[in-house]
Structure 1
């Protein structure tokens, strides 16, 4: 695979919320594909070949006097992203049962040991949404189930579902780098029942799943929940995350209109993950 060049924007944001959430949403609409939130703001990445200076003119929050947002930009190659990640990455333990770690970390004594090299992909367990989705998976019975991981990123959720006994798992992400990275991580963890695909909900067709996992942003979830519902088995379960507590009403309203019932939500630093059932 060719070594893609990315433009990295480092945004300093004050106050952090809700400005960071709005900024990420607007950047996503403008073509930025990867985000890493930190203590001062957010890092945002877009492929150099997709970038034009005029893109920043469309980011309305940068013109909002209620927020102080500054930024710097630089070019970054994928291997540089990985080197930066390796320097800063620490293992993540979830509920005393699951460890998400890099290949160079010591093997832990836990039931579920997941080895991840995220590169330019999302999903190491550090972000609140991934952590909560891992919690939900740990608490759910996946034995013999068919599973969809939508917006799969590194593939970490699909991998844990497979480790918990899922019969088959489809992992789908629209980003080419996420697709290749998930393939690598699936092979690295020896979960042969996981199939990785590049694309969006248009790939689903009429296929049915017992469980659907979707850790994506609010707007994509609202657009795609009707499709998820149509692809769920009777008595199926939908786990969603990627949004804030204030968004639960809108997400639940959409789920209810599609025949899904709210069952439980987890909350972590104002982020939420929610379980719905048919």
Structure 2
């Protein structure tokens, strides 16, 4: 079976959105690049009209350029080994795949086999969210991870001593990958939910809510976050640029949050807020 390869260049803001859109129309593997990403789909599974519709929808706003090609069936594990290096966060967290050696000198080790999900720690938003988590008391806390991707932030919460961790994402492949990663990290009792926060309808309130998504979704869901975080609890947000802080902060303050701190990496930002 041959795979079709689409080398897609696009504006950075739209990379994750496009990956999510293409995953919904049959693309099953992605590799991020300096200019965008490569997308792969079995040749017999491509619905050309549906694909064209997705690309046309974003071409002008996302500055999309596409180079198409064919390739033989790929060993994706081998491809990940070529492209996925382990990372370190604040000299405390070591994020690796199963084919990397352990580093016992790090107090926290996270095992992630990312496949095509987001959240390996390489992206600045994930890195900064983990850095915020390291500075937030999790021991015995109830934690919710919204738009969890690979489940990396939920796993970090578990390692930091959270007594209860819940996580969900809108994409089926994130759900499958998240469950796999939970098992790899001794969290087989946690199962990834599927849907938006309004679909899932989390019950009760949480000490810590994590949401690494994008600006528009965060603004749209902020009112819901306000109902989910306990008084004096924490809301950690990322997925937006430094120039978006004012909009995110204003929306959060309307729901009773105050800004405690921010982290900026490669112009991406993560905020830590507390419910008053």
TM-score normalised by the chain length of structure 1: 0.84
Show CA shifts across 1:104-161 (max 9, x none).
2111021111111011111111110011111111111100000001111111110010
**Is 1:174 paired with 2:173?**
no
1:273 to 266, 270, 273: 270
- 1:158 equivalent in structure 2: 154
SS of equivalent residue, structure 1 residue 194: coil
- Rounded to whole Å, the distance in 2 between the matches of 1:270 and 1:20 is 11
Name the CA shift for 1:78/1:222 in 2 (closer, same or farther; >3 Å): farther
- 2:231 equivalent in structure 1: 234
2:130 to 134, 156, 162: 134
Name the CA shift for 1:87/1:209 in 2 (closer, same or farther; >3 Å): same
Paired residues, what number? 264
**Is 1:83 paired with 2:75?**
no
Please, which runs of 5 or more residues in structure 2 have no aligned partner? none
Show CA shifts across 1:73-125 (max 9, x none).
45799975443222211111111111000112111021111111011111111
- Rounded to whole Å, the distance in 2 between the matches of 1:136 and 1:77 is 42
- CA drift of 1:25 comes to 7.4
1:124 to 120, 123, 145: 120
- 2:87 equivalent in structure 1: 92
- CA drift of 1:59 comes to 1.9
CA root-mean-square deviation: 2.9
- 1:209 equivalent in structure 2: 206
- Rounded to whole Å, the distance in 2 between the matches of 1:78 and 1:264 is 47
